[in-house]
Amino acid sequence: MSDDPTRNSYLDEVMQGQAQLEKSLKRRAAPAAIVAGMAAPAAAPMRVARDEELAAAPAAYGGGGSPAIDVRVTGWGRWQTVVVPPHAYVVHTRRGHDQPLHLGRGISFRFDPRKDAFLVVPGTMQTILINARCICRERQGILVQGYVQWIVDDFATAYRTLDFSDAGDPTRIVTLQLREQAEATIKDKVAAMSIDDVLADKQPIIEELTARLRSLAEGAGLKIATVQLKEAVVSSARLWESLQRPFRAERARIARLAEVAAEQEIEARELAARQAREAARLDAEDANSRRRIELERGRQAAEAELERVQAEARAAIERLRLDAELAIERARAEAEHARAELAVALAERRQGIENGLSAAALEARLIAAMPEIVGKLPQPDSVVDAVRAIVDAVRGGQS
């Protein structure tokens, strides 16, 4: 690639690619495809082939070279046969006949070189490469590249209307004519368009080109199958660079904004990560604080529970002590009561024993206790009262 700033490197690459494609599609030169005097379209007057042409015809179609169409001519002299492949159209005429003897695709026939002639045309799809060097509305050069594909649709009309007289390539003249029409149409359309319109939207050019070519092909027995534009390149390298500069600047701006957005996103994520770590740390510290508080509360609760248990223990001990003292007092009281009851029982037993003593012993005791009894008795008014008192005392003692 050249370093010359005035050269449009992209245009050079496009042209090189187009040349390679055209070379790959181009057929090699071949022997005459028109035999025995068909040097012009069938509508032209026939001529009688020269002897050297007749002698060369079988060799030309029998092998050896790479003809435009692989037509084989077999036999010798007046008894020859033309074998046409199925993908080719053929028209076979004879001197003295207004209409062709054979007309159609892939027809083989007997051939008399003295008075017959035939024309073979490819029946397959043909491709025309277009390189239209145009001038747009801003008076700037633009190269528009595309291709057109056409096929013979009505051979009965086509062989009378179109020029298939090229011996090496029967469709070459038709292809050149269609190419010239296509390039002229593209140039006319681009001349009324701006550079931006041509580069941004090729559909108007395609529509115009399709309409023009189909109008020409309808009356010539052809069919336009495909019309397509591949490239539209500004010829001036400086203008091309200027046209690209805003886009490149915009892409650079978008790229820079994307970098800034990415940096901001990274910073935001780093900040979020730091905040998350800080929050986790604070949560951990908070959890530790809560754990310490819970442990302190647990310790205080344990201490309070211990105090409560100790207080309950002391109260229980105090209750046990009081119960013990009460039991001791109760036991003591019960013992005293038992001793008192025992003393009463002993007294009663003693009294019973005493009550069981004899009258003489009773009287003796009475006499012995008489002074004490008399001392405790009130003074009687009379002896009778004294006696009664004594008797009552004695009865009471007996009871």
* DSSP for 195-248, written as a single string: HHHHHH--HHHHHHHHHHHHHHHHTTTEEEEEEEEEEEEES-HHHHHHHHHHHH
| 36 contacts 113 by C-beta, under 8 angstroms | yes
Q: CA triplet 208, 213, 217: central angle to 5 degrees?
A: 150
Mean pLDDT by 10 residues, the chain (399 residues): 54 66 52 35 32 35 46 88 94 93 94 92 93 89 92 94 87 91 93 88 92 91 93 78 78 90 92 90 85 86 88 86 82 80 77 66 69 64 62 60
For residues 108-120, one letter each, b for 16 or more C-beta atoms within 10 angstroms of the residue's C-beta and e for the rest, the string is beebebebbbbbb
Return the pLDDT at 62: 30
CATH of 9-235, one of 3.30.479.30, 2.40.110.10, 3.10.450.40, 1.20.120.80: 3.30.479.30
Residue 343 confidence (pLDDT):
80
What pTM was computed for the model?
0.51
**pLDDT the model gives residue 162:** 92
C-alpha 236/C-alpha 242 separation (Å) is 10
Longest dimension (CA), the chain: 222
Question: What does the pLDDT read at residue 51?
Answer: 34
pLDDT for residue 387: 61
Residue in 51, 208, 24 with CA at minimum distance from that of residue 114:
51
pLDDT value of residue 34: 37
pLDDT of residue 354: 65
Residue ranges covered by each domain of the chain: 9-235, 264-350
Q: Report which of 149, 53, 42 is spatially closest to residue 89, judged by C-alpha positions.
A: 42
In this prediction, residue 340 carries a pLDDT of 80
The per-residue pLDDT for 384 is 59
- State the pLDDT at residue 317: 87
